[in-house]
Structure 1
């Protein structure tokens, strides 16, 4: 960062003050993370906009706990104060008092030496992964608890041994004989449900792929073409701004790649599938699909190679889905910018990952170029 940029961020940048964080805790913001030192009290010079803050407690033996994080839209010169709870080894959810806020803001100069500078070298990468995430979108998608956790938060429903036994008896009446022993074991366990307020508020993906009253021909068409499903999602959540769906795609990607949240990975896969298999919608939303190509370009480039092979390429999900997308693009106007951009993206993927989207093997999935 040059001196001029540093001065602008020092004047206009936001500040995250994170008090009482134990030494050795893993702390990160956006694309950069560190192990906290003894003098750590937060981060300064944060560019205004949406950011993802995350942390993991660390034991004396060096074992790191599952990651927890939150999205936050920092405003110019804003000072956000968070506190560490030593008992739960987590961030406190209670807001600081006005007196505490005023005291911290009045001591900004004294705090400066305890604050790490925002990792500006990776800021462009962060923007490329989050540019469609607005303050209102982050607020809608973020769990009610305000925290995104790598491990699903479960709670036990109120039950007794007798109530569990009665439930098991009802289930065993209809269970095949071979599974009754399993039901007997389950009857001794409490019922676990996702803790209220901890679930990310992703958009629901409609299970019915075709419109009500569809003709047989339409049922066949929309069973292969996800355009109707896409229309329902856009009409329900993004009627004013279809590009907001790309923000949710980015939100889900960040949740799983940086937040290590599996639900984010599942939502990302679902949205990628819906968008890439929507043929009819290509002509209706060229800007949306042009933006999709740009979003996927940066996302694919950030997935670690080992992670990519183990998860994203499992069952050839991404390559098979993109194969459909590129095939649909070839059926559009040969002179359209969308088609040109899409096929250029195909060339990039083929060159970088050696994927061949042109061949059609027996299972109709792309193959790796030897």
Structure 2
């Protein structure tokens, strides 16, 4: 990078300054991770936009501990300051660094330059980690960080969500039947814990209250009623759903928190399990096509071991994509098929080339569905 470019990026980009950063800890931003040295003071030339800072303390055996981190929407020229707490092994949020500290940093920012690592903007053939990050975050709006993440955007590998709360409540109901004196206080204590603000998607109850038996059967298999209801009442737009699909994936993929995995799986099942919605050309263009493209981007980033250990559980990807292929095969909208089938075809090629997965075509899916057997038969899939 030439000096003029570096100066321009330094002036336009944001800076993350870390006070008292220990040497030897695992520290990263977005897709990159480093080991800090004795002079480390933070990151400079951060492109404006949403980024994820993550870190783990390292013990004497060089083993990294639980990952902690925070999302932040960086403004051009912004200085974000955090202070390392050796006792808790965490970065204190901004309100633990005084405004006077920030003013002094801004006045002396060039004196810190030697201790500030440059955000990695370069990359072979234009495939820098920043460009990959942009593809993974393009639908995440800044308001999502406030609405969906714990206070301050901070979370750890252990931060919970509504899905874990549901499991806890189920366990407490069982406990209450055997140990009545314990249950209520345990639930109350858990309710105060920090958690992600994802609205729980109840895939198993995807029909309206008071529905007739035929509608219960119909919308237990086809998630269109639930999809349209949540798009109207919760997300307001397809972009909102896609943003949550991106954020939940990143929470598991870079945040190493399995609460993100549960929400990501429910979102995929909701979208790809909605058959009637494929008749809506606008929804195909605004939601289904971007969702398939986004899934391809996400899977392209996944190393084989991540897929084997996480995404192949219960063969989930095969189930949800099988539903999509079958629904598309049976779709009466020619325009919907014309728009979506090329995207599914490209995804099918990626799955085979990268993971050795063979996604059946529509006719094969139809034959399996007609046989009413095997994992691809139409059924209500439990995500428990």
Task: Tell me, yes or no, whether TM beats 0.5.
Answer: yes
Measure the CA separation in 2 of the matches of 1:243 and 1:221. 27
Measure the CA separation in 1 of the matches of 2:313 and 2:261. 13
Q: Does 1:135 align with 2:142?
A: yes
Question: Is the CA contact (8 Å cut-off) linking 1:323 and 1:357 kept in structure 2?
Answer: yes
What's the secondary structure of 2:255's corresponding residue? coil
- What's 1:179 paired with? none
The answer to which of 342-351 and 223-232 deviates more is: 342-351
- What's 1:300 paired with? 299
Question: Is the CA contact (8 Å cut-off) linking 1:153 and 1:195 kept in structure 2?
Answer: no
Report 1:147-158 matches (<5 A).
Answer: 147-152=154-159
Measure the CA separation in 1 of the matches of 2:13 and 2:80. 12
Question: Is the CA contact (8 Å cut-off) linking 1:145 and 1:198 kept in structure 2?
Answer: no
Q: Does 1:126 align with 2:128?
A: no
Measure the CA separation in 2 of the matches of 1:300 and 1:313. 12
Measure the CA separation in 2 of the matches of 1:238 and 1:124. 26
- What's 2:253 paired with? 257
Report 1:132-281 matches (<5 A).
Answer: 132-144=139-151, 146-152=153-159, 175=178, 191=186, 193-194=189-190, 196=192, 198-206=194-202, 208-239=205-236, 241-281=237-277
Cα 1:89–1:233, aligned 2, differ >3 Å: closer, same or farther?
same
Cα shift at 1:57: 1.2
- What's 1:114 paired with? 115
- What's 2:341 paired with? 339
The answer to which of 4-13 and 19-28 deviates more is: 4-13
Unpaired segments ≥5 residues, structure 2: 122-127, 162-171, 378-384
Measure the CA separation in 1 of the matches of 2:224 and 2:301. 28
Cα RMSD of the aligned pairs, angstroms, is 2.7
- What's 2:310 paired with? 311
Cα 1:40–1:244, aligned 2, differ >3 Å: closer, same or farther?
same
Cα 1:305–1:348, aligned 2, differ >3 Å: closer, same or farther?
closer
Cα 1:214–1:355, aligned 2, differ >3 Å: closer, same or farther?
same
Cα 1:202–1:5, aligned 2, differ >3 Å: closer, same or farther?
farther
- What's 2:352 paired with? 350
Cα shift at 1:195: 6.9
CA offsets 1:50-101 (integer angstroms, 9 cap, x no match): 0111111122332321000111000001111111112211111334222111
Cα shift at 1:133: 0.7
Unpaired segments ≥5 residues, structure 1: 155-167, 176-182
Measure the CA separation in 1 of the matches of 2:137 and 2:248. 10
Measure the CA separation in 2 of the matches of 1:331 and 1:343. 16
Cα shift at 1:145: 5.1
Q: Does 1:55 align with 2:66?
A: no
Cα 1:145–1:104, aligned 2, differ >3 Å: closer, same or farther?
closer
Measure the CA separation in 2 of the matches of 1:139 and 1:283. 34
Cα shift at 1:4: 6.7
Cα 1:209–1:21, aligned 2, differ >3 Å: closer, same or farther?
same
The answer to which of 194-203 and 129-138 deviates more is: 194-203
